[in-house]
Amino acid sequence: MPARGYVTLVGHNHATWKYAVTYAGLPRPMPSWNTYWDNIGFDGPLISNTREYEIPDAGIASNETTIDEHPPGTFTTVLHHGLSLGYTIPDGENAMGAPLMFNNVSITGATRARLVFNGYYQGHDSNQELRLGNGRLRYRINDHPRHERAFSPGEIAMLDEPGQTGGFNHAIDIPLSELHDGDNSVRFSTLNIESGYPNAVVNLDLLIDFDPDPIFSAGFENPD
């Protein structure tokens, strides 16, 4: 029976400037660890009955100044230029992030809708007292009631070990009744996932499956 699968390409690195010399013996300055993707394709069947809408990256510029000692006894003031791509989301019983917009959505002939995105969660604090298994992801489509998603046993097992924190790839079905033609908003928050680092979402897509027959039949005359 035919099935659909997904391929995710991820480049992961942590604290390049902090650890480059300490562990890798790499020269400074090395403000970022760059990963390049090229010539990625798929030669299988074409999936043509989907529409995809994307929320742009946050693109929030930031600058941080540090005093760097390298080599020992030599101090240099370094300006770090950064760019935040994701959106931080609040944690709390009554918290909900600012609305993020999917623009110019069409739900004509829609049969299924999913939110597809990356979520980053700091599952425990410095005292190892918080665990992701206690946490919930919350999201709200337009002005409809808030949804609450628990983490699966596999997700909990992956991040509930001390020292393991990071991201998930999410593909969450949402009710078609909560969408409409035009601009649609989504808001996020978490519950019981709070530590010294903010939770965040990034690479936000709205993926809609549709039945092409009503679309085409509405645009062509039937032969006599």
Question: Is residue 114 situated within a structural domain?
Answer: yes
For residue 154, the surrounding DSSP H or E stretch is helix 153-159
Measure the CA–CA gap between 204 and 102, rounded to whole angstroms.
9
Q: Say which CATH number the domain at 155 has.
A: 2.60.120.1200
150: which 2 tokens? 């628990």
pLDDT in tens, the chain (224 residues): 556 666 777 777 777 766 665 555 555 666 677 888 888 887 877 777 899 999 999 999 988 787 877 777 888 787 777 888 999 999 999 999 999 999 999 999 999 999 999 998 876 555 555 567 778 999 999 999 999 999 888 887 777 666 566 778 899 999 999 999 999 999 999 998 877 778 999 999 999 999 866 544 444 333 33
Question: Is residue 28 situated within a structural domain?
Answer: no
Q: What's this model's pTM, rounded to 2 decimal places? A: 0.79
- The residues, any chain, with a CB within 8 Å of residue 179's CB and separated by 6 or more, are 105, 107, 110, 113, 141, 142, 208
- The residues, any chain, with a CB within 8 Å of residue 123's CB and separated by 6 or more, are 130, 131, 132, 135, 159, 160, 164, 165, 193, 195
Measure the CA–CA gap between 98 and 95, rounded to whole angstroms.
10
Give the HSE-up count for residue 62: Cα atoms under 13 Å, Cβ half-sphere: 10
Closest CA to 53 of 137, 110, 98, 136: 110
Question: Is residue 177 situated within a structural domain?
Answer: yes
| Percent helix, percent strand, percent coil in the chain, to nearest 5 | 10, 40, 50
Question: Is residue 22 situated within a structural domain?
Answer: no
**Residue 133's domain spans which residues?**
51-57+89-217
Question: Is residue 44 situated within a structural domain?
Answer: no
Measure the CA–CA gap between 122 and 120, rounded to whole angstroms.
7
The count of structural domains within the chain is 1
